Amino acid sequence: PSRIRTHHLAKAKEAGQRFAMVTAYDQYMAGIFDEAGIEVLLVGDSAANNVLGHETTLPITLDEMVMFSRAVTAGSRRALVVADLPFGSYQVSPGQAVESAVRLMKEARVHAVKLEGGAHFADHVRAITRAGIPVMGHVGFTPQSEHALGGYRVQGRGAAARAVLEDALAIEAAGAFSVLMEMVPAETAAEVDRALKVPTVGIGAGAGTTGQVLVWQDMLGLGQGKVPRFVKRYADLRSIVSGAARAYRDDVLAGTFPGAEHSF
Ligand code: KIV
Ligand code: NA
């Protein structure tokens, strides 16, 4: 199967079609999603929470992102693989942003990078784009700024809708091939999608964006407890894995595993 490229996503928008994106951090999940036809795999810095157990996305390093990203490119054949630039790897300057993006392209062989921020990061997006690296923007709620934004809150309500639109337009003008919106009212996100030529992606942004993205552990029900309102659980992996682990332990304690067929 030939690789999905950024121009295929642009064509999808032109044709009034949607595309699906999901996070992946390792080769098996990358391979399963790839085979299922998911168009875009995101090596999210949400690996900080979902793999490494941190409370926020802030502690994950560029080295760690390179490692997860390499696993995802190794495990997939068709999907476009986008890797997040983690906190601290691009904010300092457009030059730092290019250096970090180059590492993800070169050492992990991803196909594009994503960074958080609006108009103030247009220069960073422009610099990376000029280096020949496709960039996806990320506006609305930006988890790397959660301390400045006062926690997980919907962005762009009421008069603030204009700021989200201006951020998205600035990132598009800087050369981004797509703009992701997180936790933005559906109406605002739909307006942004109409205003932009490039395809948009939404999470907690309603059905009016070109594509949708979810964190795979949320989508497949691996986590415990409450999930955000914007998550739809397509499986209950936690109970499947937990049931299997209990059955395995019961067999081991009972001496019924391994059986003769598992032994030499
Ligand atoms: O890191 C991440 O998972 C993201 C999302 C948009 C879900 O950036
Ligand atoms: Na992210």
Residues 145 and 224 in one domain: yes
Same domain, 137 and 211: yes
Ligand 1 lined by 71 (C-beta under 6 Å): no
Whose alpha carbon is nearest atom 8 of ligand 1? Answer: 44
Whole-number Å distance between alpha carbons of 22 and 262:
37
pTM: 0.98
Report d(CA 100, CA 85) in Å as an integer. 7
**251 in the same domain as 165:** no
The encoded tokens of residue 196 equal 């932009």
Containing structural domain, residue 115: 6-233
Do 209 and 258 belong together in one domain? no
115 in the same domain as 216: yes
Split into its structural domains, the chain has a count of 2
Consult the annotation and say whether 84 binds a ligand. yes
Q: Which spans in the chain are helix H?
A: 6-14, 27-35, 47-50, 62-75, 94-107, 122-130, 146-149, 161-173, 186-195, 216-219, 237-254
Are 249 and 190 within one domain? Answer: no
> Do 172 and 262 belong to one domain?
no
CATH number of domain containing 163: 3.20.20.60
CA 175 to centroid of chain Cα atoms: 19
Distance (Å) from CA 159 to ligand 2 centroid: 25
Q: Are residue 20 and residue 113 in the same domain, yes or no?
A: yes
142 lines ligand 1 (CB under 6 A): no
Rounded Cα distance between 88 and 90, Å, is 6
Is 83 found in the same domain as 208?
A: yes
A 10 A CB-CB count for 183 gives: 22
Binding site membership of 23 for ligand 1 (Cβ less than 6 Å): yes
Residue 255 sits in the same domain as residue 183:
no
Q: pLDDT (tens digit, 0 to 9) for every residue of the chain, 264 residues total?
A: 799 999 999 999 999 999 999 999 999 999 999 999 999 999 999 999 999 999 999 999 999 999 999 999 999 999 999 999 999 999 999 999 999 999 999 999 999 999 999 999 999 999 999 999 999 999 999 999 999 999 999 999 999 999 999 999 999 999 999 999 999 999 999 999 999 999 999 999 999 999 999 999 999 999 988 889 999 999 999 999 999 999 999 999 999 999 999 999
Same domain? 219 vs 160: yes
Report d(CA 118, CA 263) in Å as an integer.
59
Based on the residue annotation, tell me whether 35 is a catalytic residue of this protein.
no
Alpha carbon of 142 to ligand 1 centroid (Å): 9
Nearest CA to ligand 1 atom 1: 44
Q: Does 1 reside within a domain? A: no
Residues 209 and 83 occupy one common structural domain: yes
Q: ipTM value, please give it.
A: 0.99
